[in-house]
């Protein structure tokens, strides 16, 4: 299933995407199900059957093009992201393959919608794109084994780990450079894990103004998603709705000579097979 958060002029609603151009409002069909996406994920064992019934009946469909798709999860509890996790990106960064997984956080205020603007901040112009597969935690927990990691994932979406490179490399800690407002577009919806046979076999692409910059496959992850979940859950409890940005392949703007940073008016499109695409236009910070 594809689960979305949208606005059709009546406030934020939960939606079920039923075809390429229609969705059903779960908030209208069954308002008791959940108050938002995190609540829906947390209650999934109790509400899944009802959601599937609504999906099968698909009554009162809404034209997908008539609504505004929002970030599926507007305020996740945590956003964890791994760096240097594709060999070609490591090579273009002129760095060695990490012995240990390299983690940083993105502020929850960096989340923005799948088709909303990416801000070019007032303080710098070194803004870069990073196409990423994003995993959405479901049951979560602590000390999750690699063998049990798949069961902890609720679903997947497309993400862009937008990065302000000057701030990223100003200090050894990357979080500020990764956490500017609007610098974590996600969407266009969450595809539930049962629809993705193998998250490590998905084509992933990043385009700027129609030019293919990144073109890889999630099979090329250095540390795969199950390794990632096992590792970070040793340190922290993963909870429903937490997001994991799983790494970006080569082709980022900083890897070119001269570097190709984003500027106002640029359109960044991130595509992942089976999950859809997000497209964000860059605009100056107000």
> Model confidence over 10-39: pLDDT tens digits?
999 999 999 999 999 999 999 999 999 999
With cut-offs at 50, 70 and 90, classify the pLDDT of residue 93. confident
Per residue in 172-194, pLDDT (tens digit) is 899 999 999 999 999 999 999 99
Position 88 pLDDT exceeds 90 = no
User: CA torsion 73→178→118→212, rounded to 10°?
Assistant: -100
In angstroms, the CA 154 to CA 72 distance is 13
β-strand 12-17 against 68-70: which pairing, if any? Answer: unpaired
* Bridge-based pairing state of the strands 2-7 and 12-17: antiparallel
User: Which stretches within the chain are classed as H helix?
Assistant: 26-29, 37-42, 44-57, 87-92, 165-168, 225-232
Return d(Cα 44, Cα 26) in angstroms, integer: 13
Q: CA 58, CA 56: separation in Å to the nearest integer?
A: 6
Q: Using an 8 Å Cβ cutoff, are 178 and 161 in contact?
A: yes
**What is the helix (H) or strand (E) element at residue 269, kind and residue range?**
strand 267-272
Whole-number pLDDT of residue 94: 83
Indicate the domain borders of the chain.
Answer: 2-70, 79-284
pLDDT band at 91 (very low <50, low <70, confident <90, very high): confident
Task: Specify the pLDDT at position 58.
Answer: 84
pLDDT in tens, 231-243: 999 999 999 999 9
Q: Is 95's pLDDT higher than 90?
A: no
Mean pLDDT of the region 258-271: 98
Tens of pLDDT along 242-255? 999 999 999 999 99
Among the ranges given (91-95, 152-156, 202-206), the one the predictor scored with the smallest mean pLDDT: 91-95
pLDDT tens string 156-177 = 999 999 999 999 999 989 999 9
Our measurement of the distance from residue 155's CA atom to the centroid of its chain's CA atoms, rounded to an integer in Å, reads 10
CATH pick for 79-284 out of 1.10.357.10, 3.30.70.920, 3.90.850.10, 3.40.710.10: 3.90.850.10
- Binning pLDDT at 50, 70 and 90, where does residue 122 land? very high
Indicate the SS3 state at residue 247.
coil
Provide mean pLDDT across the span 209-225.
97
C-alpha closest to that of 283 among 121, 99, 52: 121
Residue 97: the pLDDT is: 85
pLDDT beyond 90 at 59: no
What are 124-166's pLDDT values in tens digits? 889 999 999 999 999 999 999 999 999 999 999 999 999 999 9
pLDDT of residue 123: 95
Q: Which fold has domain 2-70?
A: SH3 type barrels. (2.30.30)
Q: Using 50, 70 and 90 to split pLDDT, how confident is the model at 4?
A: very high
- pLDDT at site 129: 98
pLDDT of the residue at 257: 95
Average pLDDT, the chain: 96
What's the pLDDT at 125? 82
């Amino acid at each position: 299933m594809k689960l979305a958060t949208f606005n059709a002029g009546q406030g934020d609603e939960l939606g079920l995407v039923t075809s390429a151009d229609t969705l059903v409002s779960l908030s209208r069909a069954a308002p008791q199900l959940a108050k938002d996406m995190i609540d829906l994920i947390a209650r999934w064992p109790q509400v899944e059957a009802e959601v599937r019934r609504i999906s099968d009946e698909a009554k009162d469909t809404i034209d997908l093009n008539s609504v505004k798709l929002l970030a599926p999860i507007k305020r996740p509890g945590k956003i964890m992201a791994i760096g240097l996790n594709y060999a070609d990106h490591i090579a273009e960064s002129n760095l060695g393959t990490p012995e240990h997984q390299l983690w940083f956080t993105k502020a929850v205020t960096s989340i923005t919608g799948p088709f909303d603007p990416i801000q070019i901040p007032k303080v710098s112009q070194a803004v870069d794109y990073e196409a990423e597969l994003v995993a959405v935690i479901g049951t979560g927990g602590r000390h999750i084994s690699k063998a049990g990691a798949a069961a902890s994932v609720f679903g997947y979406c497309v993400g862009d780990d937008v990065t302000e490179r000057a701030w990223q490399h100003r200090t050894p800690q990357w979080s500020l450079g990764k956490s500017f407002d609007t610098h974590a577009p996600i969407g266009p919806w969450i595809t539930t894990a049962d629809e993705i046979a193998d998250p490590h076999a998905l084509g992933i692409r990043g385009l700027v103004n129609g030019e293919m910059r990144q073109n890889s496959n999630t099979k090329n992850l250095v540390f795969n998603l199950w390794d990632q979940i096992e590792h970070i859950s040793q340190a922290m409890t993963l909870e429903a709705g937490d997001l994991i940005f799983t790494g970006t392949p080569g082709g980022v703007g900083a890897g070119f000579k001269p570097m190709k940073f984003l500027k106002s008016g640029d359109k960044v499109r991130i595509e992942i097979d089976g999950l859809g695409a997000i497209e964000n236009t860059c605009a100056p910070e107000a």
